[in-house]
Every structure is written in structure tokens, then in C-alpha cells.
Structure 1
Amino acid sequence: MIKKPTGYDEAAAYTGEFQQLPKGKYVCVIKRVATQKSKNGNEQFVILYDIAEGDQKGFYQKMFDNDKSQNPSGAKWRGVFKQNMEGKGLSWFKGIITSIERSNNFTFQWDRDDNEKTLNGKKFGGIFRRRQYEAENGNRPIVTELWQIRSLAGLSEAEVPEDELLPEGPGAGSQQAQANAAPPSMVDGNGFMNIPEGAGDEGIPFL
């Protein structure tokens, strides 16, 4: 006989399952912005965002609430986008700021105390793709990631890229295949860096 544990009826049922965000184009809202140093010492622009409209509105808030109910002290906000601000990443960073400015009809004020807070609540257009990567244990999961930030006006004309899948067979060991196999949190040649939904424990606690 299996006896029901104390508190069983009140406990949340943790199955480890959660809906993955479908790829596509979404109106997103900024929850918080910060800067930080990468492991390589590069200055990074970090956006915590959520889906602002449509059927997936509040997707990352729901995910965070679910994680927090299971692990209150270790829950992470999963909607995180990182962009290098220096070197090859500078032009991409300027493009992000420009897209946010155009989407909200405002001008960002540089070099002012707490100016990052003026970005909270601002909207932008997000293009989300699906990408496969090779995990340390050899598995090849497919995740949905924020691929590009656009202005809201430019979102309708943007195209969602095809799924980026790892090659199979003899060519899997090529240089390009090794680059594609990098975890989604790695920086590419353009200085673009992001942490996709579902990539594990990486992320910034939402305080």
C-alpha cells in the first residue's frame, strides 16, 4: 500500500513540462535593462523581455511563476537577450537602440544616471527562430530563441528564418558544423549574443 504523503493535495504537480514558444514574429515588452561584463570582458547590453500581445502574451512571466513555485530561490527569468556593445557588436547594439526608439517614439538619453530605467515598459518587434544545438551530454535539443530585434513598423515585413538544424552524417565534423553546434548562449561573428528560451539554467534572476 502506498500512503499519501502529507501535503500531497496542496503541492504543485511538477512534471518538467512547459510549452515551447512557437517561432514567429512577436510584439515584445522590456521588463528590465542592465549592462554587465561578459566572461571575455566585453561590455554587454542585457534585456529582460516578455511577449506583450497575442495568444502568447505574458509567456515568460508564466514560465517564471511556474519555476518559482517549484524552486523559489533558484527561479530564473528566461526571456533574456544579450548584445555586445563594443567592437563588432557596436553596430548591432545601435540597431537595437534605434529599433526601440522608433517603436516608442522617444529618444534615449545617454550618460545619465539610471537612464536604463527609461527603457522599462518600452516595446519592440522580436523575430524568434528555432535552433538546434549540441548539449554537453550529446543530446541535440531544439530551442526557440530571440533572433533579431526590429522596430514595430518593420516587423510586418520581416521574415522568420527556417529552423537551423545540425547536420547529420560525415559532414557533421566540419568547421561549420562545429560552429552550429555551439550552445545558443555563445557569441557569433557579428557580436550577437542571446540566451534562448529553454536553454537551461542560464539567465538573470528577475528581482
Structure 2
Amino acid sequence: MCQILKATTETSKNGNISLVIYFDIAEGDFKGYYKQDYKEQVATPEKPKKWRGVYRVWLPIPDEYGTENYKKATKKYKAFITCVVKSNEGFAFNFQETSLAGKLVGFVFREEEWEWEGKSGFTVKAYFPRTVHSIRNGDFTVPETKYLHPVTYGQPQTQPSDLPQFNWGNTTINEPHAQTDNDGLPTILTDINDDEGLPF
């Protein structure tokens, strides 16, 4: 389960607009993982710094109305917003992305292989959204690892044994909604709400 720290829109070089969600993990063994990761990056100034808890939703392009691309983009956008609304009791999306900050949402993660400047490894990225209730009750399927060079015969290469495994499927909580305070904001998080030193 994750908390949205910031939501904004970005325009790509070719003019496409995406909803960009900056988040951190809110529960379990990896709570606050991305904040800690960023702090470790800051401690090594010779390396570029990047907040890695990011989920991007490409928005429908009006000029493509009626096409398959438009339908797919609309479906993904609605799916994400629906997951946020159902995960936060009393929340109604007003089509202002800033209203998503502080809200809870579930993400299913996928392992992906990467290569860069002669180095390679694996990373874990948010792949698709789910409600908090679904994540807490294990009602999701973890997608297969994405390899850059799948092996045609035999098994793909083995991932490093120390790769974080984001799997909360064994956690069962009967509450269908996140607990909220008097302002309707999630109260499950305390320490990661302190945004001192964050890049946004």
C-alpha cells in the first residue's frame, strides 16, 4: 500500500501529457523505502539524484478521440482514479491532480531488468494500480519479471537474491477503507509525511 506525496502533469517533447504520481510505500517491511533511497542518494553527491517512487498515467489525447489509443488511455486513467477514490473513504476527485496528494492507493509491482553504460541489474516498479483493500487482502497477481533479453530455451537468468520483494499478499485487514482524521486525510502515515529534504 502506498501514499501519494505529489501529483502533477508533465508534457513530453512530442506534446503528450501524463499524470505523474510521486509516492512512497506506506505499510509493511518497506514502509518509507523511497524516502530512504533518496536520502542515500543525497549522501553520495557525485551520483545523480532521482525519486524512484513514480507512477505515470498517459492522458487521452483529444485529437485521437475514438481510436484504440484514446480508449486505452481513458481506461487506464479511469482505473487509477477509481482505485484512489475507493481507497479513501469520503474522497471525491475534482479533476484537480493536486487533490490526490496525501491519498492512499495500492500498486502491484513488477521486476524489470535494466542495462546502462555496461552495467545491468534489476529494479522494481509500480506496474498497475489496485485499491488498498485489494492489496491488503492479497487480491492481486504479481506479473512476471520483464527481461531485456529473454532466454528462448531454458530458464531466464536469475535475479539477485537481495532484490526487494514487494509482496503484501499475506497481510489481511478487514477494513475496506483507510482510517482518516478529522480532515478526511489518511492517518496511517506519520513519519513519511515529513517532506524535509524531498525533491518536490
After TM superposition, the score normalised by the length of structure 1 is 0.62
Distance 1:109 1:71 in 2: 39
Partner of 2:3: 29
- 4+ aligned runs moved over 4 Å, structure 1: none
Partner of 2:103: 122
Structure 1 residue 141, shift from structure 2 partner: 2.5
Partner of 1:101: 85
Query: What SS class does the counterpart of residue 31 from structure 1 fall into?
Result: strand
Distance 1:39 1:146 in 2: 23
- Larger gyration radius, structure 1 or structure 2: 1
Distance 1:119 1:71 in 2: 31
Q: Which has the higher contact order (CA 8 A, sep 6+)?
A: 1
Structure 1 residue 139, shift from structure 2 partner: 4.7
Distance 1:72 1:65 in 2: 14
Which of 128, 133, 150 aligns to 1:167? It is 150
Distance 1:103 1:31 in 2: 15
Query: What SS class does the counterpart of residue 95 from structure 1 fall into?
Result: helix
Q: Which runs of 5+ in 1 are unaligned?
A: 1-26, 171-204
The question of 1:56 aligning with 2:46 is answered no
> Relative to 1, partners in 2 of residues 1:72 and 1:90: Cα closer, same or farther, differing over 3 Å?
farther
Identical residues among aligned pairs (%)? 32
After TM superposition, the score normalised by the length of structure 2 is 0.64
Kept after mapping to 1: 8 A contact 2:10/2:17: yes
Partner of 1:68: 42
Query: What SS class does the counterpart of residue 20 from structure 2 fall into?
Result: strand
Partner of 1:158: 140
Q: Which runs of 5+ in 2 are unaligned?
A: 61-69, 154-197
Q: How many residues in Structure 1 have an aligned counterpart in Structure 2? A: 142
Distance 1:67 1:28 in 2: 21
Distance 1:138 1:71 in 2: 22
Structure 1 residue 137, shift from structure 2 partner: 3.9
Partner of 2:51: 77
* Letter aligned with residue 206 of structure 1: P
Distance 1:128 1:74 in 2: 24
* Letter aligned with residue 168 of structure 1: V
* Letter aligned with residue 133 of structure 2: A
